[in-house]
Amino acid sequence: MTAIQLRHTLKRLGLSQRQFAFRLKLDVGTVNRWATGRRDVPEAVALLLDCWRRDGVPARPTARRKR
Report the predicted TM-score, pTM, of the whole model to 2 decimal places.
Answer: 0.83
With respect to residue 67, please indicate whether it lies within any of the assigned structural domains. no
Domain count, the chain: 1
| CATH number, domain containing residue 50 | 1.10.260
Any domain includes 20: yes
Q: Confirm whether 39 is domain-assigned.
A: yes
Domain membership of residue 61 (yes or no) is: no
Would 12 be classed as within a structural domain?
A: yes
**Residue 15 and residue 9: Cα distance in Å, rounded?**
9
Q: pLDDT of 9-52, one tens digit each?
A: 999 999 999 999 999 999 999 999 999 999 999 999 999 999 99
Name the band, by pLDDT with cuts 50, 70 and 90, for residue 59: confident
Do the domain assignments include residue 37? yes
